[in-house]
C-alpha cells in the first residue's frame, strides 16, 4: 500500500481475508515506509504471544513467542510462521496502525488466525511500535518465500 495512508485518519485498519501462500511453510511479513515505499526499513520493537491447537487434538498451548518479536530492528515483522498452503489452509485477521502521520512513535497491534503447515490452528497476537517520528506513508505485506497466492487485504480509515 503506497497510497491512502496519510493524515486523513488517526487509525488505519487492514483486514486480511484468506491469505494463501504459494509456498508451504512461508512466513507472512510486514514493514513500514516513510518514503512512499522506496524503502521498507522502519526500526521496530514488538512483542508477540500465541495459542495453538492441533487438528488431531494431540497438542495445545498458549504463551509468549520469543521468536516472534523484534528489538530495535529494521527487519520485516512476522504475522505467521510456517503458514500452510494446502487447499484448506490460509490466514485471516486484522492489523491496526495508529496515527501514522503523528510526530510520535507509530504504535500498531495485530490479531491473526492461521493454519500452520503441520495442521494446527494458530492464533497470533502482536503489538509494537515503529520507533520513528516521521510520517508512515506506506506498508508492505509479503511472504518470506514464494508469493501471496490468493486472498484479500482491505484498508479502512477510522476517524
What pLDDT score was predicted for residue 43?
98
Buried/exposed code over 86-116 (b: 16+ C-beta within 10 A; e: otherwise): eeebbbebebbbbbbeeeebbebebebebbb
Answer for the pair 106, 136: CB distance below 8 angstroms, yes or no: yes
What pLDDT score was predicted for residue 130?
98
Paired sense of beta strands 120-130 and 138-143, if any: unpaired
Q: Which residues lie below 8 Å from residue 39, measured CB to CB, with a gap of 6+?
A: 33
What pLDDT score was predicted for residue 70?
97
H-helix segments, the chain: none
What pLDDT score was predicted for residue 116?
92
List, for residues 96-122, the tens digit of each pLDDT value.
Answer: 999 999 999 999 999 999 999 999 999
Residues facing 123 on adjacent strands: 51, 113
| CA separation for the pair 105, 36 (Å, rounded) | 18
What pLDDT score was predicted for residue 101?
96
| CA separation for the pair 105, 148 (Å, rounded) | 29
Does pTM surpass 0.75? yes
Residues facing 61 on adjacent strands: 52
112 three-class SS: strand
Phi, psi values for residue 43, rounded to 5° = -70, 130
C-alpha 104: how far from its chain's center? 21
What pLDDT score was predicted for residue 63?
96
| CA separation for the pair 23, 72 (Å, rounded) | 29
List, for residues 16-68, the tens digit of each pLDDT value.
Answer: 999 999 999 999 999 999 999 999 999 999 999 999 999 999 999 999 998 89
Amino acid at each position: 500500500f503506497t497510497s491512502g495512508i496519510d493524515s486523513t485518519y488517526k487509525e488505519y485498519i487492514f483486514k486480511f481475508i484468506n491469505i494463501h501462500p504459494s509456498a508451504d511453510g512461508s512466513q507472512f511479513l510486514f514493514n513500514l515506509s516513510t518514503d512512499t515505499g522506496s524503502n521498507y526499513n522502519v526500526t521496530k520493537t514488538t512483542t508477540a504471544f500465541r495459542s495453538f491447537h492441533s487438528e488431531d487434538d494431540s497438542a495445545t498451548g498458549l504463551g509468549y513467542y520469543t521468536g516472534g518479536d523484534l528489538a530495535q530492528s529494521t527487519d520485516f515483522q512476522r504475522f505467521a510462521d510456517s503458514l500452510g498452503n494446502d487447499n484448506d489452509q490460509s490466514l485471516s485477521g486484522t492489523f491496526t496502525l495508529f496515527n501514522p502521520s503523528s510526530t510520535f512513535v507509530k504504535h500498531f497491534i495485530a490479531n491473526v488466525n492461521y493454519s500452520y503447515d503441520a495442521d494446527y490452528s494458530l492464533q497470533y497476537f502482536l503489538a509494537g511500535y515503529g520507533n520513528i517520528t516521521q510520517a508512515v506513508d506506506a506498508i508492505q505485506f509479503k511472504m518470506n518465500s514464494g508469493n501471496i497466492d490468493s486472498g484479500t487485504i482491505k484498508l479502512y480509515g477510522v476517524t
